[in-house]
Structure 1
Amino acid sequence: MNSKRSGIMKNFKIYIIGLLTIFGSLSGCDEGFDELNTNKVDPTTLTPSFLMNNAIINTSFQDGFGTLVHLSYTFPIVQQIVTPFGSSLSGGNYNQNNVDNTARIWTTYYRTVVRDIVDVIQKTQGVEASSNTYHAARIWKAYVFQMLTDTYGDVPYFEAGKGFSEEIISPKYDSQEAIYKDILKELDEASAALDAAKTADPTDILYGGNVIKWKRFGYSLMLRAAMRLTKADPTLAQTYVAKAVAGGVMQANADNAATRHTALYVNWLADHLGAREKANYYLAAPFVDYLKTTNDPRLKAIAVRYVGAKSGSEQVIARATTDPSQQIGMPMGYDNVSIAQTFPTLGVASLWDFSQVNINTVLNRTAAPTYHVTHAQTQLLLAEAAVRGWVTGDPATYFTNGVTANLEQFAEYGANAAIPSADIQAYVQAHPLDVSTTEKSLEQINTQYWVASFLNGSELFANFRRSGYPALAPNPYPGREITEEAFIRRLNYPDTELVVNQANVNEALTRQGPNKLDVRVWWDKK
């Protein structure tokens, strides 16, 4: 009995010692536990430089389908590119509301661009080493929100992009007047604060950390924003035009704000028109006719026509011509059935026989830049400001400089798009600024701005509404949904906003007017 009990006690002691050993081992495992279980591959935060570049790249709709806001609305409204097809492609071609395509810029910008750029500003504010990144981000934010408010009118601005940092998931809509005044203030402060003597970000995708070029971009954008207010607030406009000129705007095409595409982030507008939508979109007749009438050398670089094509599959290289005399633009006001009545008069075989944007030059998916603000646009705006007496200098000289800059800019699309110097000089000499009356000058300047802004959809749409030029005939399509205006004046708020942010949307509509395509935004005065 004693021997048995002694054996049990011995086994019990061994068991206890074993447990203590196990617990001791487990306790030892706590050392370095956090480090061992931390994922060193997936980031928990992103650097401001990465977020900044991401915002810039996504401004050009790297989601792909975002480009439909331009293909379906801004381009056909200003009558440069149009499609005869409806359904998912309908919009400005029919003067109708397509809820998917009107929402494209809103969805892309608020979900990616605004989110990222606001995050950059929050991460770099007050950080001396990131001072230039902070101020560059303020400039890009101004650029992005100018496009948003120009497109929709009153939009979330002061509370936008703060869903994560401040848990604002139903942001208030701000008046366009308040947004524009803050944009101008931000551009003034940020452009002036950029300092070439301070640290710059060499990975910056827009200018490679060149602070001088960022400053010129900021002041040129300020000039653009100020000129948008020529009718809404001319006193404020003149004040900021003077500030922009004093600060120093773009001096040459080397200062252009442009996204230079690569195989890593392609030109998605080019990608769409070179693949999915290749046979669906065509150069509009008003644009082609203007370029042909004025013997514009840009037409050869812009347009290609597949002569005699009777289907998309017949748009082959063997039929291709870039000869300006052979280009035929698609007339406005037709669908893919009714357009057939124009074929005999225009001398085309089918709707696939009209001129298109050349995807080998101005819309090469990896080589064609996306231009945001250019030296050419800046010079033309200065020409208008000079006509109005807001800046010193000769309007005709600014005008000539602007036209020349845009013609020279085509060399950036590649050798096949470059315009010979002799052709540039001949065109410029044949089209001096008409200064006989103010209106003739304004019409000529803004019509050239229309050409110089080709493929820059948001700016085309905005400047056309602001200036009233070029003097386009309204799209005669019979199924139009606009009744108060001859042209679409804004795009509708997304249906999702009417559901998830209804109270703030309704407040904006009470202030601005109904959620309709023919309601004018604040600066768009008659």
Structure 2
Amino acid sequence: MKKHFFRYVLLLLVLGSCTKDFEEMNTNPNRPDQLTDPGLLLPDLIRSVANKNLDNSFDRGAIAADQLATSYASNFSNWFRADAQGYFNWSYYNYIRDLNEVIRAAEERGYNNYKGIALVLRAWLFQNLTDLYGPIPFREASAAGVTGVNRPKYAQQQDVYAGLITDLEEAAGLLGSTGEGVTGDILFSGSIDRWKKFNTGLLLRILLRQSNKVDPTTKMTAILNNGTQYPLFQGYSEQAALQYLTDRDENNMPLYHASNSDYGISSRVTASLVSRLNSMNDARLFVFALPASQSGNYTGAVNGTGDWDDPAKYSPPGMLWAPRQYNATLASTTAAQSILLSYSEVQFTLAEAAERGFIPGGSGAAETYYTNGINDQFSYYASRIPSNYTFPTAADIVPGTGYFDQSTVAYTGNQAQKLEKIYLQKWLSLFLVGYEAWTEWRRTGYPAIVAGPVSPGYVPSRVLYPADEQTINADNYREAVQWLGGSDALNTKLWFAK
């Protein structure tokens, strides 16, 4: 009996050891909850988000904003449910899932800076999603591995915005509150101060976006009165823009590797963009566009007119965004950046806020912000011009002293006229910045965009939910459609724009 007892004890010890070894061998050291450094996830996350932002700016965002045109996507009736994952950012939920894991790992280890960074980047993703679709899966989204919820509930847009404001206010308190360094930050090189400024800019963007529904005065004023908690970008060198590298293909500007047929044949700047820049003698025309190969002039195409008889009649987008196939000598792997949120956008946001009385200073302060935003735009693009360009050079971009004296630019007129000037300059500053120019047009109605003759008769107000949601998440999808007024359609206005 004693002999059997000792054999039993020995067996338990062996099994216990085997179980421990089995658990160790089957523990993935790269799982976020096992990481000692959540920053290991950041480089791929930031790069993927930035690349998607720039790609979709070119393929759909600038088209919806009437800044670029193609013979296909400009017709809007070609915007399908199947485009949700690719062109319309539903795949952002993959990045949100990873950021949820970063937040969980950071909370377990008391890494406030990492949590703050993840909250800011996640808020930017959710803001983009709700501005495209309206009601979206929110608090239950991309968390099935933790919560077991595979069919997440949608939240109405006003509730998404409220939740994002709460998250960004939390991030403002977290960032810089502990001393841990940050690794893997390819956006700001570990600068917590710049993450705080990105956080402030994003908070201001959301507050203004819902300003026709929710008065932002109290929160905006509090932000400007607390520069320590809510610092602002001080120029383009601090803005949220990913700088691409030359070291390997995946770190290059993604459009550099695009097909020339997408750029040199299919994509053109619009007549609307060209005419507005010409009306102000604005040298950004030479950055945003190239001369048409047929005439040598800057000539824009009209959106929504179907196939062009000859694309050579119209100006392609500027060389900063050109693929190597278009011009191997002048195309650059690094000239263009993916802009998530710029200094100039923040300045135009503050200009509108001051003009509308949401923050102190009135028209005087509004003019200062307005002028700051314009000047920084020219300085930014002058800084992006490669040294081997013969035209435009950096000197060609900076405007002369008379630029601000023009009636189309000078900050004069009644309030409505001043706001229109802010809206136009902001629209220009958002060239190839995701879907922001289109979203601002949906909010303000300016500048005017006219649907083309072969379009469905309107410019879209939103995009369609992916088809999978109608089956996999049917009950929650149907509730979201009811919040939209009963129609999951392209011309359904979203809450912020009503």
TM-score between both structures, scaled by the size of structure 2: 0.84
Within 2, Cα distance between the matches of 1:518 and 1:40? 49
Match in the other structure for 2:425: 448
Match in the other structure for 1:497: 469
C-alpha deviations, 1:224-281, integer Å up to 9, x for none?
A: 1110012121x2x222222332322212112200111223333334533656554211
Superposed counterparts of 1:170-181, under 5 Å:
170-181=151-162
Within 1, Cα distance between the matches of 2:264 and 2:26? 44
Match in the other structure for 1:13: none
Match in the other structure for 2:367: 396
- Partner SS for 1:489: coil
Match in the other structure for 1:244: 223
- Please state how far the C-alpha of 1:164 moved relative to its aligned partner: 1.4
C-alpha deviations, 1:287-334, integer Å up to 9, x for none?
A: 11211222111111221135229xxxxxxxxxxx6xxxx111112231
1:51/1:307 CA distance change after superposition, 3 Å: same
Within 2, Cα distance between the matches of 1:351 and 1:32? 68
1:37/1:164 CA distance change after superposition, 3 Å: closer
C-alpha deviations, 1:191-210, integer Å up to 9, x for none?
A: 13311762230431111111
CA contact (8 A) 1:156 1:173 kept: yes
1:44/1:275 CA distance change after superposition, 3 Å: farther
Q: Unpaired runs of 5+ in structure 1?
A: 1-23, 310-320, 341-349
1:397/1:273 CA distance change after superposition, 3 Å: farther
Q: What RMSD over aligned residues (CA atoms) do the two structures have, in Å?
A: 3.0
> RCO higher in 1 or 2 (8 Å CA, sep ≥ 6)?
2
Within 2, Cα distance between the matches of 1:93 and 1:476? 7
Match in the other structure for 1:182: 163
1:385 aligns with 2:348: no
Within 1, Cα distance between the matches of 2:24 and 2:84? 46
- Partner SS for 1:381: helix
- Please state how far the C-alpha of 1:218 moved relative to its aligned partner: 0.6
Corresponding residue pairs, total: 457
1:297/1:203 CA distance change after superposition, 3 Å: same
1:307/1:248 CA distance change after superposition, 3 Å: same
Within 2, Cα distance between the matches of 1:225 and 1:445? 17
1:493/1:134 CA distance change after superposition, 3 Å: same
Within 1, Cα distance between the matches of 2:424 and 2:460? 19
- Partner SS for 2:377: helix
- Which of 364, 370, 376 is the equivalent residue of 2:338? 370
CA contact (8 A) 1:114 1:144 kept: yes
Match in the other structure for 2:451: 475
- Partner SS for 2:496: coil
Match in the other structure for 1:313: none
1:99/1:427 CA distance change after superposition, 3 Å: farther
Match in the other structure for 2:315: 355
- Please state how far the C-alpha of 1:435 moved relative to its aligned partner: 3.2
Of 93-102 and 210-219, more deviation after overlay is shown by 93-102
Match in the other structure for 1:75: 62
1:259/1:454 CA distance change after superposition, 3 Å: same
C-alpha deviations, 1:336-367, integer Å up to 9, x for none?
A: 1xx43xxxxxxxxx223311112346874433
1:199 aligns with 2:180: yes
CA contact (8 A) 1:72 1:82 kept: no
Superposed counterparts of 1:144-163, under 5 Å:
144-163=125-144
Of 289-298 and 139-148, more deviation after overlay is shown by 289-298
The code of the aligned residue for 1:244 comes to: I
Within 2, Cα distance between the matches of 1:126 and 1:40? 18
- Partner SS for 1:148: helix
Superposed counterparts of 1:65-464, under 5 Å:
69-85=56-72, 90=73, 92-104=74-86, 105-110=88-93, 112-128=94-110, 130-195=111-176, 198-233=179-214, 235=215, 237-246=216-225, 247-262=230-245, 263=248, 264-272=250-258, 274=260, 276-308=262-294, 326-336=297-307, 339-340=308-309, 350-360=310-320, 364-393=332-361, 394-415=365-386, 416=389, 419-420=394-395, 423-426=398-401, 428-431=403-406, 432-464=409-441
Within 1, Cα distance between the matches of 2:205 and 2:357? 16
C-alpha deviations, 1:39-91, integer Å up to 9, x for none?
A: 899845565213233222221345xxx86754453222211111113xxxx3x
1:362/1:250 CA distance change after superposition, 3 Å: farther
1:357/1:187 CA distance change after superposition, 3 Å: same
- Partner SS for 1:188: helix
1:138/1:422 CA distance change after superposition, 3 Å: closer
Within 1, Cα distance between the matches of 2:19 and 2:76? 66
1:56 aligns with 2:56: no
Structure with bigger gyration radius: 1
- Please state how far the C-alpha of 1:166 moved relative to its aligned partner: 1.7
- Please state how far the C-alpha of 1:479 moved relative to its aligned partner: 4.5
The code of the aligned residue for 1:378 comes to: V
Within 2, Cα distance between the matches of 1:421 and 1:386? 32
Identity of aligned residues (%): 24
- Partner SS for 1:124: helix
Match in the other structure for 2:326: none
CA contact (8 A) 1:48 1:120 kept: yes
TM-score between both structures, scaled by the size of structure 1: 0.80
1:43/1:192 CA distance change after superposition, 3 Å: closer
Within 2, Cα distance between the matches of 1:328 and 1:170? 49
Within 1, Cα distance between the matches of 2:287 and 2:55? 23
Match in the other structure for 1:518: 491
C-alpha deviations, 1:435-459, integer Å up to 9, x for none?
A: 3211111110010001111001321
CA contact (8 A) 1:361 1:413 kept: no
CA contact (8 A) 1:384 1:445 kept: yes
The code of the aligned residue for 1:423 comes to: V
1:355/1:277 CA distance change after superposition, 3 Å: closer
